[in-house]
Amino acid sequence: MCFFGSDDDNMPPPRYIDPPEGAKFVTSGGSGLLYAYPNNTTEIIKICSHDPDSIRNIEIEKIIHQNIMSAGSHPHVVKCIKVLANGVVLERAKHGDLRDYFRQGGTATMAERIKWCRDLASAVDFIHGLHIRHADICGKNILLDANRNIKLCDFAGSSFCGTSPSVSAELGFAHPNQDQARRATIIVELHSLGSTMYEILTSTRPFDFEERPAVVSQLLYHGVYPSVDQIPLGDIIMSCWKGKYPCVLQVEHAIQDAIEHGSLTPIYNS
């Protein structure tokens, strides 16, 4: 059942309030502002800015976290500790997001990376079961905690119960079919999942699109992707890009099968 927080459709939206007293500004993201208490290293406070898009997107994130909390937690979805009038209090990840982790020289064994791919597929399958479509799966929206477990995060502007998302994936992660992307279909989520697996396994994004976005757009439009022949799980990544799986659960099973019965044993134990 989709839970929207209130049965009274005539209730006014929550009033914007200032950050909790004593909290210090950490950084700003695409959809909100992050604060933390100086003596609390385990929690982060995410609130909306005064921008109307931010207010709307954070309201969606609040609704989504309320539904996740009602359904029970998942070990690889960021935990919401509390819902505020203008945001959420979330568990804080020691190592930040995976993209910045790799940029700053962070390392991981191939075994860890393959596990992270499987755990990410499990997390995405979990939210899909709650009628949530993330719409922006990528390395910057995956956190790494103190125990080196990944956590899917940032549901601001995601799709919930069939609504159109107000955010979209970045080039190289977004599905080339814009109609599909606008509706955040399973095919779209699979496409972003494939690109994120590529990023996890290689520490880089699928394309150097910052320098040549027009070229990348044309490549994607014609179904041309980077070679994955030498990448573990490469065939699974390509199948995600090509939309060959009916659901994310099958991706998780394919990864687990590759670990147990495929050709990953020497790599997985490295």
User: Could you read off the pLDDT tens digit of each residue along the chain, which spans 270 residues?
Assistant: 454 444 444 444 444 457 778 899 898 877 889 999 999 999 999 999 888 899 999 999 999 999 999 999 999 999 999 999 999 999 999 999 999 999 999 999 999 999 999 999 999 999 999 999 999 999 999 999 999 999 999 999 999 999 999 999 999 999 999 888 888 999 999 999 999 999 999 999 998 655 578 888 888 888 899 999 999 999 999 999 999 999 999 999 999 999 998 656 445 444
> Which sequence spans correspond to the domains of the chain?
24-91, 98-268
Is residue 269 within 8 Å of residue 263, measured between CB atoms? no
Tokens at residue 263, please? 């050709």
* pLDDT of the residue at 216: 84
Identify any residues that bridge with 142 across adjacent strands, giving them in sequence order: 152
Query: CB atoms < 10 A from the CB of 254, how many?
Result: 19
* pLDDT of the residue at 140: 96
User: Which is it for the CA torsion 30, 33, 38, 42, positive or negative?
Assistant: negative
Q: What is the CATH number of domain 24-91?
A: 3.30.200
* pLDDT of the residue at 17: 57
Nearest alpha-carbon partner for 132 in 48, 55, 66: 66
| DSSP assignment string, 113-140 | HHHHHHHHHHHHHHHHHTTEE-S--SGG
Instruction: Determine if the pTM surpasses 0.85.
Output: yes
* pLDDT of the residue at 208: 66
Between CA 11 and CA 131 the distance in angstroms is 24
* pLDDT of the residue at 4: 46
* pLDDT of the residue at 209: 55
CATH match of 98-268 with 1.10.510.10:
yes
* pLDDT of the residue at 19: 74
Task: Fill in the amino acid letter for 125.
Answer: D
Nearest alpha-carbon partner for 73 in 32, 122, 31: 122
